[in-house]
Amino acid sequence: MKIGILTSGGDCPGLNAVIRGVVLKGTTNYNIEFVGIRDGWRGVVDGDFFPLTRHEVKGLSKVGGTILGTSRTNPYEGPRGGAENIAKTLYGHRIDGIIAIGGEGTLAAADRLSNDGINVLGVPKTIDNDLRATDYSFGFDTAVNIATDAMDRLRTTGDSHQRCMVAEVMGRHVGWIALHAGIAAGAHVICIPEVPMSIDEVCELVNKAHSRGRAPLVVVSEGFKLTGMEEAFSDKGLDAFNRPRLGGIGEVLAPEIERRTGIETRATVLGHIQRGGSPSAFDRVLATRLGLHAADAVVDGAWGQMVALRGTDIVRVPFAEALGELNTVPQYRFEEAAALFG
């Protein structure tokens, strides 16, 4: 059997650990031959493959990024795209199936290709933890650790200067990173996309922490929807999420908090450092196990499914289960954390 592996979408700590897990289990236990597919679906469409042996995946569990490269190409677009062309390309290279490691877009494409007769197996990848059907996805724990460490640092500056510190973290549609890093770092305000808040509510929490003698620490997901600022933003142009088009939400929030509360306030946008570098042990274990089980699933012919974490077990779920609705932060999880705000 000959199997291609691809990584698609934004990079994420643990991608290489998945690849290593698949290849070690597949070659040693099942005698599968693997090829790496370059730059996600782009490599499928272009037939851009290279041999992937035990040697290539040596020492990869700790290495961030992806040795396969990645892109946001849609496999149904372009002159060589579409299920029929792809089937020909794979047949031409005698590739029996594809393991696609990616997020919602990738898995949706994988689902469609699967329905169109291509053998595809999925491994869920989302640093935001926004996929249903898996309790956690690799990369998320690393991102939360990085954000927590950064906020621990911001806190000492806040305390020294009696400032309010605002940290903007990843999370365009879901607030898991902000929620977990906020709990871990002891934030006084956690602003997530699932729970729109007005600038008044934010400032009230800031003032509450300040009145207890604390330097307020605010964590905000990039996709947080701030309400009550429409007028103020009207001259700057608003984007689809009702946010000003210039700068991130953290950079909008900070001066407004300062203006309204009188507390000196500074914003830091963590940005790309949250998704790079060596994965945490949790993510290495999760990613490796997903890879090992993906090799099993290939041998079982479990095409059209993806491997996922449930409790402490790795299970298989149909693509459809993972798609459609995002894994948002439920209201009770936000309220649970809100008890910490005081």
Rule CB under 8 A: which of 270-329 touch a second copy? 270-273, 275-277, 280-282, 284-285, 288-289, 292, 310-312
Least CB distance to a second copy at residue 88 (A): 27
Least CB distance to a second copy at residue 228 (A): 24
Residue 73 near a second copy by CB under 8 A? no
Instruction: Calculate the alpha carbon distances from 257 to 4, 28, 195 in Å.
Output: 51, 58, 18
Return the residues of window 105-144 that contact a second copy according to CB under 8 A: 135-136, 141, 144
Task: Provide the pairing of β-strand 49-51 with 164-169.
Answer: unpaired
Nearer to a second copy, 78 or 276 (CB): 276
By CB under 8 A, name the one of 185, 218, 308, 323 that touches a second copy. Answer: 185
User: Any catalytic annotation for residue 128?
Assistant: yes
By CB under 8 A, name the one of 25, 125, 188, 210 that touches a second copy. Answer: 25
By CB under 8 A, name the one of 246, 255, 259, 301 that touches a second copy. Answer: 246
By CB under 8 A, name the one of 70, 126, 137, 265 that touches a second copy. Answer: 70
Distance CA 175, CA 134 (A): 16
Which range in 9-17, 87-95, 116-124, 232-240 contacts a second copy by CB under 8 A? 9-17
Residue 172 near a second copy by CB under 8 A? no
Helix (H) or strand (E) segment spanning residue 265: strand 265-269
Nearer to a second copy, 117 or 262 (CB): 262
Read off the tokens for 104: 């919602």
Which range in 154-162, 223-231, 300-308, 318-326 contacts a second copy by CB under 8 A? 154-162
Read off the tokens for 331: 């209201």
Residue 163 labeled ligand binder: yes
Instruction: Calculate the alpha carbon distances from 52 to 2, 6, 61, 159, 167 in Å.
Output: 11, 11, 15, 51, 40
Q: Which of 250, 193, 188 is nearest to 224 (CA)?
A: 193
Least CB distance to a second copy at residue 87 (A): 28
Q: Are 295 and 26 a contacting pair, CB within 8 Å?
A: yes
Least CB distance to a second copy at residue 22 (A): 11
By CB under 8 A, name the one of 4, 36, 43, 64 that touches a second copy. Answer: 64
Q: Are 49 and 41 a contacting pair, CB within 8 Å?
A: no
Least CB distance to a second copy at residue 147 (A): 8
Nearer to a second copy, 48 or 116 (CB): 48
The sign one gets for the Cα dihedral 119, 71, 314, 51 is positive
Q: Count residues contacting a second copy (CB under 8 A)?
A: 80
By CB under 8 A, name the one of 62, 80, 112, 173 that touches a second copy. Answer: 62
Residue 243 labeled ligand binder: no
Read off the tokens for 94: 């005698």
Distance CA 170, CA 80 (A): 34
Q: Are 314 and 121 a contacting pair, CB within 8 Å?
A: no
The angle subtended at Cα 282 by Cα 281 and Cα 283, nearest 5°, is 90
Residue 72 labeled ligand binder: yes
Residue 262 near a second copy by CB under 8 A? no
- Among the options 11, 39, 111, 128, which is catalytic? 128
Nearer to a second copy, 237 or 271 (CB): 271
Least CB distance to a second copy at residue 117 (A): 30
Least CB distance to a second copy at residue 47 (A): 19
The angle subtended at Cα 247 by Cα 208 and Cα 189, nearest 5°, is 20
Distance CA 86, CA 75 (A): 8
Return the residues of window 89-108 that contact a second copy according to CB under 8 A: none
Q: Which of 171, 208, 168, 169 is nearest to 188 (CA)?
A: 208
What are the residue numbers of the active site? 128
